[in-house]
Each structure stands twice: as structure tokens, then as C-alpha cells.
């Protein structure tokens, strides 16, 4: 029975035997205990077989006796494998050094990412992390356990209620949860609420102070809406006026819409570019000659080598997909252009008004078509908050009671 492991460890060769007495040679080899296998006849005086290296030298006397000659066709097994390795020692050493360097590079921290900071400065968190050894270039094996690192960071950052530390490949991620402390309310001095625009009042609701206007009343810019002066003529006090005042404000928008519109659409043509990632470097490996699109939509998919999320190598690949786009022209009708102009004007008006504004009425004042464009003039009535704060510098003087008595 063949022992393939022994054949590979001791080494074997494939030989061609030329001679008329090949069968006698085989029989004599078997009697001498020489292991021969894969015997086959190639021609009338030519045969092929496999034999161990040690048995090949024992075969020489039998070759002389039978008048056969041999020729080595191929060599296989561990001894020949070592010989090939020795002949390419430079390549092998280079490969070993490459993987050793790759392992050493993956054992370092190459970036520190800080998450969850709003009021705490990320620089402060980074400085605290450096004090306990979390920095670029640090050996991951020399860092303490994540629980210990979290406790030390929490001690250095009293403003945080929780600090999490985890290593993801060559990246150290520090997750900060800040303490939720009530923000002190800023001191508010006496003030009035005045109109910031000309409007017709549609809603008044005073929470603090005295309402000075009514619904459907026209007001000018700067007119007092809710006064911070309360009391009567004999006794007055100052408060910070607070409330909501909404009014109808008028706007006019001028819009120009070209009748010829240009848009980009996908053509269905696409190309995938494959890149080899080495740290922050990306080298395109396929295709060699990439197609160049005048306009394209791009999407990217990355893959990083490693053993799960806990151990990531700075080596990977990415696929960038380019989808070709071409410009399409469309001729609009006047009605379509008017609708597009209205939509654009509404967005412009809502930007000019306050955040919670609502359009109450829309009226096209004028439409003109000239030189391939539609010109629109649109009038809008908008309901919005028209109140703004105005500090009260001094209390208005009370009427002199002695003068009234004299009169």
C-alpha cells in the first residue's frame, strides 16, 4: 500500500525508462524491495514510473544488468521544495518581513476618534486620553484593560457621566456622554415687544405685560405690541413683556423661469473601478484604462481585512461605481413655467419670513414672456410672528399731581 506522506517527505521523482527489458527491470526492483508506482508504457521501448529518491540510486545496478537507461522528468516532495525555497531566499525573506511589518503596523493605534462631545472640547478629551496612553503610535498590547481606561478617563473628565473606550482595528474610539446639567436662565430685563414689520394683526396673546393692539389693527414697524410697563398712572412697574403676536405681512416676488430646461439623467452605462487600500492610500488595480465620463454619479463600497470588528488590518479594497449621466433638454409650456415659478417664489417667501410663517394668499400680478423666458410678479399675504424685543431703558415720567391740583 502506498504511503503518500512518506513519498512527499522523502521526495520522489518521475523517470522515463528506455529499453527492451523494462518488465524484467520492474520485477528485479520489486524483489530488491524498491518501491515503484504509477507504472505505464509510453512506447514500444519507452515507459514511465515514479520512484523514491533513495530507491533511485539502488536502481542503478539493475539498470546496468537489464541494459535500460533512465531520464528524470520531474521532481516532487519536501527536499525539492526546500531547494526551491533556498534558491528564492530573497523573495521568501521579503515576504516574511512584509507580513511581520504588517502585523506590527496592525498592533499600533493609528487614529483616535472622539464621539459624543457637545460642550466638552474634543481637544480636552484627546489630552486626557494621551495621559493614560491612548494616542497615535501607541502599542495596543501595552494599553490597560478598557474598563480601567474608562475609569481613568472619567476621573480626568468630571464633566462626563460616562466614557467608553473600545479598540476597532487600528482605531481607538472614545465615546463620551456628557452630564445633563440644567442651563441657567439668562437674566431678562424689562422690555417691550414691538412690531418688526408693517402688518395687520391677526392674533394677540400676552403672557406677561399689557397688550397695546387688537386683531385687525394695522401697525407700523417699531410700534409697541405688548408693553412691559404695567400699573396705573399713580403706580407703575416694569416687566419683561412676553407673548405671541401674529400679523398679515405682504410680500412681492419677482421670478424668471427659462422655457428651455436642462437636466441630467442616467444613461444606463456604468463602470466599476477596483482599488487596493494600503492605509490612507488607494491604488487602482482594475481596469487599467478606465473610461472617462463627462458627468457621472459615484457610489463607493469599502472592505477592510481583519478578524471581525475587534481586529482590522490597514489593508483592504474598495469598489467605486461610476454611472454615466447626460444632459437632457426640455421645452416647457408657459403654464408649466408659471407653476415652477410659483413653487420657487413660495420657497423664497418662506425664507424671507419667520420660521413658522404660513402663506395665506397668492396672486399673480403680472406675467410676461420674452426672449425664451417667463417673467412673473407675484403678491403674497403671509401670516407670521411679527414681534421682536425692545429693551426699556427708563420708566416714562408720571404726570405731576401738584400741577393738576394747581390747575
H/E/C letters for each residue in 119-179?
Answer: CCCHHHHHHHHHHCCCCCCCEHHHCCCHHHHHHHHHHHCCCEEEEEEEEECCEEEEEEEEC
pLDDT average, residue stretch 189-203: 91
Exposed, middle or buried, 228 (CB in 10 Å: 0-12/13-18/19+)? buried
Give yes or no: residues 70 and 116 share one domain.
no
pLDDT in tens, 11-46: 899 999 998 888 898 899 888 888 888 898 888 889
Q: How many domains does the chain have?
A: 3
- 203 part of a folded domain: no
> Is 281 exposed, middle or buried, given 0-12, 13-18 or 19+ CB atoms closer than 10 A?
exposed
288 lies in which domain range?
Answer: 261-330
DSSP string, 343-401: HHHHHHHHHHS-TT-EEEEEEEEEEEEETTEEEEEEEEEEEEE-EEEEE--SPPPPPPH
**pLDDT for position 277:** 86
Which SS3 state, helix, strand or coil, does residue 407 take? coil
Please give the average per-residue pLDDT across 387-400, as a whole number. Answer: 72
| Domain shared by 128 and 71, yes or no | no
Distance from C-alpha of 215 to C-alpha of 198, rounded to nearest angstrom? 14
- 20 occurs within a structural domain: yes
The CATH number given to whatever domain includes residue 119 is 3.10.20.310
Residue 190 in any domain: the answer is no
Q: Is 317 exposed, middle or buried (0-12, 13-18, 19+ CB in 10 A)?
A: middle
**Claim to verify: residue 15 and residue 78 sit in the same structural domain:** yes
0.75 exceeded by pTM: no
Residue 404 — very low, low, confident or very high, per pLDDT cuts 50/70/90? very low
For 42-72, the pLDDT digits (tens) are 888 899 999 998 888 888 889 888 889 999 9
Residue 255, in any domain of the structure: no
Domain boundary among 298, 330, 362: 330
Q: Rounded to whole angstroms, how far apart are CA atoms 344 and 158? A: 50
Do 226 and 256 form a contact (C-beta atoms < 8 A)?
no
Over residues 311-317, mean pLDDT: 76
Same domain for 115 and 72: no
- Domain limit, last residue, from 304, 330, 356: 330
Region at 169 (left for phi over 0; alpha for psi -120 to 50; beta for the rest): left
The answer to the question of residue 186 being in a domain is: no
The angle, 0 to 180 degrees and rounded to 10, between the axes of the packed helices 122-131 and 146-156 is: 120
78, 120: one domain: no
Q: Phi first, then psi: what are they for 217, rounded to 5°?
A: -90, 135
Q: For the domain that residue 42 is a member of, what is the CATH number?
A: 3.30.70.250
As beta bridge partners, residue 244 has 205
Domain final residue pick, 315, 330, 345: 330
Q: Do 165 and 213 touch, CB atoms closer than 8 A?
A: no
> Tens digits of per-residue pLDDT, 65-113?
888 999 999 988 888 888 877 777 777 788 888 888 777 777 788 888 8
- From residue 308, alpha-carbon distances to 115, 121, 278, 313 in Å are 22, 32, 18, 10
* pLDDT over 90 percentage in the chain: 29
pLDDT tens across 164-175, in order?
A: 888 887 888 888
Residue 187 maps to a domain: no
Q: Which of 3-7, 60-64, 185-189, 264-268 has the lowest mean pLDDT?
A: 185-189
Whether residue 351 lies inside any domain: the answer is no
Helix/strand/coil for 8? helix
265 and 325 co-located in one domain: yes
In a domain, 145, yes or no: yes
Amino acid at each position: 500500500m502506498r504511503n503518500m506522506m512518506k513519498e512527499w517527505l522523502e521526495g520522489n521523482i518521475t523517470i522515463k525508462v528506455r529499453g527492451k527489458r523494462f518488465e524484467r527491470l520492474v520485477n528485479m526492483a520489486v524483489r530488491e524491495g524498491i518501491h515503484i508506482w504509477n507504472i505505464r508504457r509510453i512506447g514500444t521501448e519507452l515507459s514511465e514510473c515514479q520512484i523514491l529518491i533513495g530507491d533511485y540510486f539502488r536502481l542503478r545496478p539493475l539498470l546496468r544488468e537489464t541494459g535500460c537507461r533512465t531520464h528524470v522528468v520531474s521532481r516532487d516532495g519536501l527536499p525539492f521544495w526546500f531547494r526551491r525555497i533556498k534558491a528564492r531566499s530573497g523573495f521568501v525573506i521579503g515576504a516574511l518581513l512584509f507580513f511581520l511589518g504588517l502585523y506590527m503596523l496592525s498592533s499600533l493605534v493609528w487614529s483616535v476618534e472622539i464621539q459624543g462631545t457637545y460642550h466638552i472640547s474634543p481637544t480636552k478629551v484627546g489630552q486626557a486620553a494621551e495621559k493614560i496612553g491612548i494616542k497615535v503610535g501607541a502599542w495596543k498590547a501595552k494599553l490597560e484593560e478598557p474598563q480601567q481606561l474608562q475609569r481613568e478617563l472619567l476621573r480626568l473628565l468630571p464633566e462626563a457621566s460616562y466614557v467608553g473606550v473600545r479598540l476597532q482595528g487600528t482605531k481607538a474610539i472614545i465615546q463620551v456622554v456628557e452630564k445633563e446639567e440644567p442651563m441657567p436662565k439668562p437674566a431678562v430685563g424689562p422690555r417691550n415687544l414691538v412690531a418688526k414689520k408693517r402688518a395687520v394683526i391677526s392674533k394677540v396673546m400676552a403672557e406677561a405685560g399689557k397688550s397695546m393692539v387688537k386683531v385687525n389693527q394695522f401697525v407700523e414697524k417699531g410700534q409697541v405690541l405688548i408693553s412691559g410697563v404695567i400699573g396705573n398712572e399713580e403706580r407703575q412697574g416694569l416687566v419683561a413683556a412676553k407673548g405671541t403676536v401674529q400679523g398679515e405681512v405682504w410680500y412681492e416676488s419677482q421670478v424668471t423661469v427659462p422655457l428651455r430646461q436642462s437636466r441630467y439623467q442616467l444613461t444606463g452605462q456604468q463602470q466599476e473601478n477596483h482599488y487596493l487600500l494600503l492605509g490612507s492610500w488607494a491604488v487602482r488595480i482594475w481596469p487599467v484604462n478606465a473610461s472617462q465620463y463627462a458627468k457621472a454619479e459615484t457610489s463607493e463600497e469599502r472592505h477592510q481585512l481583519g478578524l471581525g470588528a475587534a481586529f482590522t488590518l490597514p489593508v483592504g479594497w474598495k469598489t467605486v461605481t461610476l454611472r454615466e449621466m447626460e444632459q437632457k433638454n426640455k421645452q416647457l409650456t408657459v403654464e408649466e413655467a408659471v407653476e415652477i415659478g410659483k413653487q420657487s417664489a413660495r420657497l423664497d417667501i418662506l425664507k424671507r419670513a419667520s420660521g413658522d410663517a404660513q402663506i395665506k394668499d397668492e396672486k399673480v400680478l403680472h406675467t410676461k414672456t420674452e426672449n425664451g423666458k417667463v417673467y412673473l410678479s407675484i403678491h403674497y399675504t403671509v401670516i407670521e410672528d411679527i414681534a421682536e424685543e425692545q429693551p426699556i431703558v427708563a420708566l416714562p415720567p408720571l404726570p405731576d399731581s401738584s400741577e393738576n391740583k394747581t390747575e
